[in-house]
Amino acid sequence: MLTLEKRSQAGVSLLELLAVVVVIGFLAAIAVPAASVSYERKMDVLQLEVQDAIDHAQSLAYHTGQKHAVRLDTSAQWIAVVNEVGAPVVDPLTRKPFVVRFTPAPGQPTGAVMSSAKFGFDRPLILFNTKGELEYEGTLGLTAGKYSRALSLNSATAKLAETTIGS
């Protein structure tokens, strides 16, 4: 009787251990794809953030009657909504300067960058006149891994239209 009691208190059986490993494997198989964000998704997030800045600058220009723009810095990876003297405007949500940095930060996608920005005379500036109209059409290039995306800004709609270059 003494040996039976010792055996039952010794630990877990191989079958119990195998069941735990299977459950952990199953949970990992579900969690890994959900945790990894595709390159296409990363570029989508960047595109949406740039479009949000464009929409805000256009709205400010239209409602205030003053020129506003979106400055794009491809080397430092940031955008800013600026007034006619080039100073960042206040973001109505954060009450801080409307500057979005694309360097890896909490909530920002990693591995996706603005590779080029050419508007007007090859300037990285999306400018709206006092009526909220786009001054110059242009293109914005995004890159993530082996994927690239060329975005054209239409002067009629001020919306970014995408064309996938890589696959």
d(CA 71, CA 126): 7
Instruction: Match 């080029």 to its residue by tokens.
Output: 116
Where do the structural domains in the chain lie, given as residue ranges? 2-35, 39-164
How confident is the model over 73-94, as a mean pLDDT?
A: 93
Looking at domain 39-164, its CATH architecture is 3-Layer(bab) Sandwich (3.55)
Query: Are residues 102 and 113 in contact, defined by beta-carbon separation less than 8 angstroms?
Result: yes
Query: pTM score, two decimals?
Result: 0.73
pLDDT 10s digits, 104-157:
655 555 678 999 999 988 889 999 999 999 999 999 999 988 888 999 998 888
Residue 4 vs residue 76, higher pLDDT:
76
pLDDT tens digits, one per residue of 7-53: 556 677 877 777 778 887 777 777 665 545 688 888 888 899 999 99
